[in-house]
Structure 1
């Protein structure tokens, strides 16, 4: 009998037939389907789960690592390990953290407002830390000077004098100048459109936005109009400091390209026609005659033929321009007939509309006061009044509208950054980047709802944009 036994395969733990020496094969019953691995094979690595709080901590560590400088990934790893309570996420590498930050930005796992709040909070903490450390160093120096005065020992000259900082209640000269500029812009009677800052340096823009947030803390606003003026002034001052404020050239109303092309061709044909007429008279120079000969083949066709051809081209071009003008007028009249037939027929008759006289405000006030203010005794026995009262008896009184900070944040987050601004010329970017003004916005809007003021546009009475509805603010 042959000694046939089943040996164990070292690779995938399968049996193999052998007679003395292993043949490397296994029976059909012991073979496994392709792609199936035994339970003892290496397990798949568990996927890490990142919660929203983890993403917030990750983005905060990213801001603290100063990403605009080189080597930020090494500086980001240590605070992440110190701040993160999840031990599984502490074992990730620097590259994995950088990938996570990139995914947070691309896939919007944190909204832009949340990212800006985190960046602003970290910036304020750094400023407070620097200020406190400077105060501590100043107190140490003052203590040393007092001890020297008590011991009557002359103090050694310090080659590096500590900086003279102002108290915490006051602001730096740079912020004071920025605040003065904002107040100056708020007094402007006319507003100019501001360009988009999408293409400028984002790191520099972040610093400027942090500065204007600090400068606006000491500027008071009493109503929604002043708050809107403050927002525009902040946007104007920031754009000016970024070097993006340029005077816009007035856009000229040009004719359509087709019409301009035909006119240019007619101009060229007329020049050539005059030159050919001079050639027929014998007054043309040799060089110009050679150019026209190459262009129109004067020797083959003759000057008379070319002259007649240019006349026909000029007439055809003028006819094209005339037909184009008639077609444009026909299109405008068709549109006008669909929208305003009365104005269409007045235009056909050649009549010009004269401005209507504005009604006298005193007469208008008297007219409406007689209708609404003076009491009139009506027919109280009318049956339709009872029917209407019964029909609307089930309708409840509407509750008072209360605008909360959550409503403000939700409305502001839905605004686009750099789309065309409304008549107040304040783009949505500045509503998002000025979180310090959100409590004021909530308060002024609540006052507006209660008082029912009609002017909420942020413009002055003599401004061309003063008749603007409340559509520039989050609702």
Structure 2
């Protein structure tokens, strides 16, 4: 390959390794599609004589660089050091994609799993690139933004399953945030053990000499000079019980102190970000009376008296002022959303920013580039009032700017 390139471009000095690296980079980064590569190959090798010359020169290059010949072939053959996707993996990926999209379409929005943040490795990028051509069929049949969002979310789930990323179940984050802290659970375990020990010691002091109770009492006084046969054992039991009760009181006070401090910390944090939400959380809920409710006939009569009688409104002079001011306003030019506009908006977005209600991060919109044209068309259609989808707010978090 290097000899053939030297004949075509004698003025360009390049080493064999540099040429092989550039070819491999073009094949991996998908700068040119298959049709463009085939056209360039036909232009570079117009005759069979030159093809034979290239084949004769190829063994000399591949003696030192065995991967160069594979890089020249259009179907990329994966070796042990490559991160591309082989044919049998493509079939497996297509099966996973079909299953994931089918599950996503039948899953309500609030029950979707939370997509994890996957590492930005070459292998993961290759998986996302390989999934792009498979999405074309689904996206062409998409009717609106909601269906497109469902397809992209299913594709993201398929990528996570293929690379082995763990997908948390729906509601996992809420469960974690409301779980008991580890420090509190440790203290509560100590309190439970101390209370159980107090019960055993009290039972032994009352005359219960069962082997299990006696064994627990001996373990409680292990390492001391106290013997159960001594006459002052009752006093020692009482002192031990009082000591445990004081520890329980101290541990309980520690839990209350930590809980109060955590509550104040959370309130201060909410106050800095959203004061309205803090004040709303501090409001006491209204106590509803348990008395008899209003009669339905009275309710109907009340609202009928307000809405059934026609009222003649007289427009004030300010209406003419507003109409005259609005007449001088220049209408806004029609908005045309192109795939380039969509790609630029997605490019400026943060990869792993917290998603909206649909749960789809910007990383997936950047990776699935085949969706840009479809999204541009559907957003353009959404500008028309008669076709605007109802849940359009799913997407405002991504392209509000």
TM-score computed with the length of structure 1 as normaliser:
0.50
Provide closer, same or farther for how the CA distance between residues 278 and 295 of structure 1 changes in structure 2, counting only shifts above 3 A.
farther
Deviation at 1:327, TM superposition (A): 7.3
Query: Who is 2:169 aligned against?
Result: 248
Aligned residue number for residue 191 of structure 2: 266
Instruction: Specify whether residues 443 and 351 from structure 1 end up closer, same or farther in structure 2 by C-alpha distance, changes over 3 A only.
Output: same
Could you tell me which residue of structure 1 aligns to residue 248 of structure 2? 314
Residue 439 of structure 1, CA deviation: 1.4
Distance 1:121 1:175, change over 3 A: farther
C-alpha distance 288-173 of structure 1, shift in aligned 2 (>3 A): closer
Alignment of 1:384-399 (within 5 A): 384=318, 388=322, 395-399=329-333
Of residues 220, 244, 262, the one that matches 1:292 is 220
Aligned pairs for 1:100-249 within 5 A: 119-122=29-32, 124=34, 177=95, 180-181=98-99, 184-185=102-103, 187-191=105-109, 192-196=112-116, 198-199=118-119, 202-203=122-123, 206-207=126-127, 209-217=129-137, 219-244=140-165, 246=167, 248=169
Q: Counterpart of 1:70?
A: none
Unaligned runs of at least 5 residues, structure 2: 43-89, 291-298
**Superposed structure 1 runs of 4+ greater than 6 Å apart:** 77-86, 95-98, 115-118, 126-129, 172-176, 323-338, 340-343
* Contact preservation (8 Å) 2:267, 2:278: no
Q: Which has the larger radius of gyration?
A: 1
Verify the 8 A CA contact 2:97 2:154 in the aligned structure 1. no
1:267–1:194 CA distance, 2 compared to 1 (3 A): closer
The answer to which of 331-340 and 409-418 deviates more is: 331-340
**Inter-CA distance 261–188: structure 2 relative to 1 (3 Å threshold):** same
**1:413 positional shift:** 0.6
Distance 1:398 1:449, change over 3 A: same
CA distance, structure 1, for counterparts of residue 263 and residue 288 of structure 2: 17
The structure 1 residue matched to 2:334, chosen from 384, 387, 400, is: 400
Task: Assess if the C-alpha contact under 8 Å between 1:298 and 1:306 holds in 2.
Answer: no
The answer as to whether partners of 2:132 and 2:370 remain within 8 angstroms in 1 is: no
Query: Within 2, Cα distance between the matches of 1:85 and 1:392?
Result: 70
Taking only aligned residues, the RMSD between alpha carbons, in angstroms, comes to 5.4
Query: What CA deviation, in whole Å up to 9, does each residue of 1:341-367 have, x standing for no partner?
Result: 6885643x75589xxxxx99xx9xx97
User: Relative contact order (C-alpha < 8 Å, sep 6+): which is higher?
Assistant: 2
Q: Write the mapping of 1:322-471 to structure 2, written as runs, cut at 5 A.
A: 346-347=284-285, 350-351=287-288, 378=315, 382=317, 384=318, 388=322, 395-451=329-385, 453-455=387-389, 457=391, 468=394, 470-471=396-397
Contact 2:104 2:154 in 1 (8 A): yes
Give how far 1:123 is off.
6.2
Cα deviation code 1:208-238 (max 9, x no counterpart)? 5324424524642233222222212222333
Cα 1:329–1:177 change in 2 (3 A) is closer
Deviates more, 1:239-248 or 1:259-268: 239-248
Matched ranges for 1:46-65 at <5 A: none
CA distance in 2, matches of 1:227, 1:179: 14
Distance 1:278 1:352, change over 3 A: same
Deviation at 1:256, TM superposition (A): 3.5
Aligned residue-pair number: 318
* 1:313 to partner: Cα distance: 2.5
Matched residue, 1:472: 398
Gapped runs of 5+ residues in structure 1?
1-74, 102-114, 133-171, 354-358, 459-466
SS at match of 1:450: coil
Instruction: Give 1:431 deviation, angstroms.
Output: 1.1
In 1, the alpha carbon distance for the partners of 2:114 and 2:162 equals 13
Q: TM-score, normalised by structure 2?
A: 0.57
